[in-house]
Structure 1
């Protein structure tokens, strides 16, 4: 009986050892290949954008040395020609750019051009001094706004946070009219006023800085929201009396704009 039990135990131990050896010889399954979940922002893209712009125009008038404008006219010109006004309107346009990503950092360049709806007027109202009246009107007209900018961002997979800055260009023009109640021989404009001093100044080149968020909702399509501040600086210009010689006026106009836009881009692989 004892001998039979010993033989049975030996057989069981042998079978267990064989099974363990077989388990050791079985090759483990290969791990699944690693697929990165990080979005790659590198590449060329094009897109469309739309949004809103609001800005400020500041104006001033001074009397240049040697002008023979009398004291009353000088005071009226300075009072009516100094002030400011706000302007706002829509934006719609296109953009093209290129990004390069290294690690989480994204550097790129972008250019855009937009139609602009900024078109507003300042009327100083009637200023009266010594029994004489004067009024200044300024008109801002901007149809095109364009920028060329660098971008520097930090990518968190499909979300890109970035800053931007560069050059801005526009076709903005501020036109200025100064009307007097004592400018004999100049064209009448109603209300007993006549228009002799007329001038305008263009705003071509400025600078822009801003920031934005962009999200890639597919491999090729991204959406963004972006803010920009655009400063076109101060522009001086001179007007002369069309009817009376040696009565120039010097003017200075400044223009700055804020924009907020949303955009949709298509990125080429």
Structure 2
């Protein structure tokens, strides 16, 4: 009996020490694995700035008697422009559809002087457009990594402010200005520098049709066209 009690007492005394010697290893922490980046997508909104160069052509259709009949036949006006643009789009597989608008401060001046020394000048003071865009996303060409390219076609409404001015050799001046609308068609290519920075190069043809420029007494009817090319960079979010 005494021996049994002694063994029980020893067991009780040694149990905590035995428990303390037991080491519970925690579950091993799995190694950190870098998550793969999401594939690039052209879907999203963007806003950017651009600079460009344009050439215009003006044809005089009609003028009152006080204006020379061919004064505003300006075969080439030219100059720079710059402004802002913004838009949004969605990519489905490789197809892309979007909408874009832009407003530009323009200085595309055209001038003509007749034999009498009278000068006619035509100037778009600002230009803009709202357009649809449709493109095809390209990640490689003939198996070669080309980054992320988006060639596209675009077209829609063009608008702007225009001014027609005449000045005789004697110093007499006449001028009229008006805002107007037309249509634009073009094509371009976007290049993704990274997920949020998009560069662009774009051509647009603008046609504003026949428009009348008038003050209270005299007027001229002109047909206006322009070709523009621009480069821009935008932030996509």
Number of residues paired by the alignment? 197
Q: Cα–Cα, structure 1 residues 147 and 47, in superposed 2: closer, same or farther, change >3 Å?
A: same
Q: 1:113 aligns with which of 92, 103, 106?
A: 103
**3-state SS of 1:143 partner:** strand
Please say which of residues 198-207 and 113-122 is displaced more in the overlay. Answer: 198-207
Matches within 5 A, 1:29-178: 38-61=39-62, 77-78=68-69, 80-81=70-71, 83-126=73-116, 136-157=118-139, 158-176=148-166
Shift of the 94–82 alpha-carbon distance from structure 1 to 2, 3 Å rule, reads closer
The SS at the match of 1:228 is: strand
Deviations 1:212-237 (A, max 9, x none): 01111211111110000011111135
- Can you list the C-alpha shifts for 1:18-63, whole angstroms capped at 9, x where unaligned? xxxxxxxxxxxxxx99958852000011111111111111114456
- Closer, same or farther: CA 82–141 of 1 in aligned 2, 3 Å: closer
Quickly say closer, same or farther: Cα 1:143–1:81, change in 2 above 3 A: closer
Q: Structure 1: how far apart are the matches of 2:149 and 2:93?
A: 14
Distance 1:149 1:169 in 2: 11
Equivalent residue for 1:262? 231
Please give the alpha-carbon distance, in whole angstroms, between the structure 2 residues aligned to 1:49 and 1:227: 12
TM-score by structure 2 length?
A: 0.72
**Structure 1 gap ranges (5+):** 1-31, 64-68, 127-134, 180-188, 242-248
Q: Say if 2:72 and 2:122, in contact at 8 Å, map to a contact too.
A: no
TM superposition shift of 1:204: 1.2
Measured in 2, the distance between the counterparts of 1:236 and 1:34 equals: 63
**What TM-score does the superposition give when structure 1 sets the normalisation length?**
0.64
Greater helix proportion = 1
Instruction: Specify whether residues 173 and 238 from structure 1 end up closer, same or farther in structure 2 by C-alpha distance, changes over 3 A only.
Output: closer
Change (3 A) 1:221 1:213: same
Deviation at 1:257, TM superposition (A): 0.8
